[in-house]
Amino acid sequence: MSPQHAAAPSGSDDRFPAPVYARTVLAPAFAHTQAHHLGHLMRLHRAHAVMLAEEGLMSRADAAAILGALDAVERERADATEPAAFTGEHEDLFFFIESRLARHVDPDIAGRLHTGRSRNDIDHTLFKMALRERLDALASTLLDVVEVLIRRATADIGTIVLAYTHGQPAQPTTFGHYLSAMTEALLRDFDRLMQARDVVDRCTMGAAAITTTGFALNRERMADLLGFSAILRNSYGCIASSDYTAGTYAALKLNALNVGRFAQDMGFWAAFEVGQLRLSDGFVQISSIMPQKRNPVPIEHMRLMASLCAGQCDAVMLALHNTPFTDMNDNEHEVHGQGYAAFATADRLLSLLAAVIASAEVNETRARANIDASYATITELADTLVREEGVAFSGAHHVAAALARAMQATGQTLSTVPYGVFADLFAARFGRRPGLDEPTFRRVTTPDHFVAVRNRPGGPAREAMTESLALYCAQARAARAALAAHRERDVAARKRHGAAIAAIVHAGGSGKGA
């Protein structure tokens, strides 16, 4: 039982916890922390015992006894067939574990483990440990998508598609160029997630309730044992500042927005009237009544997941909005539960996106037909007139616009309109016949030429794309290396932690050390 509370009689609101408070707040929080933070809490307990013994704030014999008791408690939980039930005897998981610890070691010795700390610095450290794992796991899934996009962009470096602006046909490009735009966005999303992780990766242990403690704790040692890169220095900020939470979910929401917009494009491209994207049969659902239907429903689910993820992130951000700069429940278990759900949704979203993109097909014949029908290459005709005829772009644009109106009136396209129509419009504007002959006119209005001449950095031409793809590959490799470094640092921290535990247990068992 928590030292400050007695168990409440059934149906009574006179003693803590009131039944409705237990049902609506304490029981859900107990289940949440047990599901998401128990392993982190046990690691933190062991690290604190090690640090206290190393700093002479606890005898090594007592530390060894506590470490043995923690092992016993962990075995109990591992052997249990189901999670511990909330009974009201202990208000949260911390007090529940504390009570179990006192069953395996003298309560006076067990009580020494809490020297110089508070549930405040414990909780924020647990949240950060959980967020580190989720950020790294999601970043890895995001890189899976990036690698799929790079492979498809490489394979489709010359596959012509029609790009749209404002929902209308705009210009030809390639599927590889289009996918590369999303690749860059996701690589920036990775950077934002890692920037958020840098803020998360600052240990709060030693801040205690909010002002540290008079005990000579070694905050840096705690950070090291728990795999953090450093301490978060100001103890008030350790407890009060919630920017590590806000920064995480701001970055995650932006990723959801990026993917949701991409999914919206995919739905548009897959529509019958556009028809330049076709999902593989494994991602198409049929109608229960219309036998001809090929419904690309996974695209809708991606859009939905993106919206749900953004909403779950917003729930966290809204909970933090206009809250006091101090310790408060608005950045604790229930809020982080919403956030963890956002990570789970994002993982589903990115996994589905990778699979859909890997297997989707471009209907280039349909794309070229739409390009022809919409005169989408006519910008290059104007550009060519500037380069080859030496006229101002405004005049070239006038000729191209007049040609577009003429084709609309007659139902012709750039591949069928008589060359003389163009020549007459040019002469009407400039008072002379064009030097551009008909074969050149036909060639410069093809989508292939349109793409080929756009060879500036970041453009769709093959040479520019090859350079871009090489850069994306290097960025993806560096990103994977960064995640590997995180894993290696945590593995090394766990090894140091294990060695420190072994040294204390050995010294405590042999009677060495005060």
Q: pLDDT (tens digit, 9 = 90+) per residue, 16-31?
A: 999 999 999 999 999 9
Q: Phi and psi of 203, rounded to 5°?
A: -75, 135
Residues 6 or more apart in contact with residue 359 via CB below 8 angstroms: 279, 280, 282, 283
- Sketch out the chain's domains with CATH numbers: 19-36+59-114 (no CATH), 125-368+466-491 (1.20.200.10), 378-445 (1.10.40)
- Give the mean pLDDT of 174-184: 98
pLDDT (0 to 100) of residue 260 = 97
pLDDT at 396 over 80: yes
- Is residue 190 within 8 Å of 171, Cβ to Cβ? no
What percent of the chain is modeled with pLDDT above 70? 96
Peptide bond into 457 cis (omega under 30): no
- Is residue 357 within 8 Å of 154, Cβ to Cβ? no
pLDDT (0 to 100) of residue 15 = 87
CA of 1: how far to CAs of 38, 87, 90, 161, in Å?
19, 10, 5, 67
pLDDT at 511 over 70: no
SS3 labels along 305-342: HHHHHHHHHHHHHHHHCCCCCCCCHHHCHHHHHHHHHH
Q: pLDDT (tens digit, 9 = 90+) per residue, 244-276?
A: 999 999 999 999 999 999 999 999 999 999 999
The whole-chain average pLDDT of the chain stands at 95
pLDDT (0 to 100) of residue 1 = 44
Strand, coil or helix: 160 = strand
- Give the mean pLDDT of 499-506: 95
pLDDT at 232 over 90: yes
Q: pLDDT (tens digit, 9 = 90+) per residue, 449-488?
A: 999 999 999 999 999 999 999 999 999 999 999 999 999 9
pLDDT (0 to 100) of residue 126 = 98
- Is residue 504 within 8 Å of 64, Cβ to Cβ? yes
Q: pLDDT (tens digit, 9 = 90+) per residue, 272-294?
A: 999 999 999 999 988 889 888 89
pLDDT (0 to 100) of residue 286 = 87
- Give the mean pLDDT of 437-454: 97
Closest CA to 39 of 494, 483, 492, 482: 494
- pLDDT-based confidence at 312, cuts 50/70/90? very high
- Is residue 393 within 8 Å of 382, Cβ to Cβ? yes
pLDDT at 6 over 70: no
- Give the mean pLDDT of 382-396: 96
Mean pLDDT lowest among 10-19, 100-109, 224-233, 462-471: 10-19
Residues 6 or more apart in contact with residue 478 via CB below 8 angstroms: none
pLDDT (0 to 100) of residue 435 = 96
171: enclosing H helix or E strand: strand 168-174
pLDDT (0 to 100) of residue 12 = 58
- pLDDT-based confidence at 513, cuts 50/70/90? low
pLDDT (0 to 100) of residue 457 = 97
Burial call 116-146: b when 16+ CB within 10 Å, e when fewer: bbbbbbbbbbbbbbbbbbbbbebbbbbbbbb
Which ranges constitute the DSSP H helices of 411-446? Answer: 419-430, 438-444
* Unique residue bearing structure tokens 């409440």: 8
Mean pLDDT lowest among 5-19, 52-66, 325-339: 5-19
pLDDT (0 to 100) of residue 13 = 73
Q: Which two tokens stand for residue 28?
A: 């859900």
* Unique residue bearing structure tokens 């500036």: 456
pTM, entire model: 0.93
